[in-house]
Structure 1
Amino acid sequence: MKKIIVACGGAVATSTVAANRVRELCEKNGIAVDVQQCRISELAGRAEQADLLVTTAKVSRDYGVPVVHGIAFISGINLAATEAKILEILGN
């Protein structure tokens, strides 16, 4: 099972939308995932437990795991490319 952390500024609105879309994407592609949400400020303490970080805010820090900018789940712009990148990282 892959662990994905979805982060935004407040860990409520945009991360909830993005987390649900990531779950749907993985389910559709047969990938077992544990998707959790948090604030960007909490990533440093949680990133090492994850296989992938999806953020709805830009981050420049290297957390030692792949980071995908997931604003496409909110805006719809470049959605297919974002989904393809997530699937590539998760090995599907």
Structure 2
Amino acid sequence: MKKIIVACGSGVATSQTVASKLAKLLKEKNVPCEVEAVDIKSLKHHVKGADGYVSIVKTKEDYGIPVFNGIAFLTGMGQEQELEKIIKLIEG
């Protein structure tokens, strides 16, 4: 099963909110995927086993996996486009 990591500064509020929303949206579309919220400090450790990363805080680091816009899932603006990109990655 594919795995998507969602990271924010503390790994508690914002990343949990986005991870829950993303997991719900994927489930509604019958797209199996593990979605995990983590804090930005432990991101390097978690991306090793992930297929994609949903970024809430901009970072200059390249983790070698696709990065998606997490703000879209908070605001709703551009959410469908980001969701489609994630689904393409998962199903690809």
- The residue that corresponds to 1:57 in the other structure is 57
Task: Tell whether the 8 Å contact from 2:11 to 2:39 is kept in structure 1 after alignment.
Answer: yes
Task: Tell whether the 8 Å contact from 1:51 to 1:66 is kept in structure 2 after alignment.
Answer: yes
Gaps of 5+ in 1: none
Query: What amino acid does structure 2 have at the position aligned with 1:28?
Result: E
Q: How far apart, in 2, do the equivalents of 1:60 and 1:90 lie?
A: 24
- The residue that corresponds to 2:37 in the other structure is 37
Matches within 5 A, 1:20-35: 20-35=20-35
TM-score of the superposition, structure 1-length normalised? Answer: 0.89
Name the Cα RMSD after superposition: 1.4
- The residue that corresponds to 1:3 in the other structure is 3
Query: How far 1:74 moved relative to its partner?
Result: 0.9
Helix, strand or coil: the match of 1:82?
A: helix
Q: How far apart, in 2, do the equivalents of 1:26 and 1:72 lie?
A: 15
Paired positions, count: 92
Gaps of 5+ in 2: none
Q: How far apart, in 2, do the equivalents of 1:28 and 1:59 lie?
A: 30
Q: How far apart, in 1, do the equivalents of 2:31 and 2:84 lie?
A: 13
Task: Tell whether the 8 Å contact from 1:40 to 1:55 is kept in structure 2 after alignment.
Answer: no
- Moved beyond 3 Å, runs of 4+: none
Query: How far 1:60 moved relative to its partner?
Result: 2.3
Task: Tell whether the 8 Å contact from 1:48 to 1:65 is kept in structure 2 after alignment.
Answer: no
Q: How far apart, in 2, do the equivalents of 1:83 and 1:34 lie?
A: 14
Q: How far apart, in 2, do the equivalents of 1:7 and 1:54 lie?
A: 7
Q: How far apart, in 1, do the equivalents of 2:30 and 2:81 lie?
A: 19
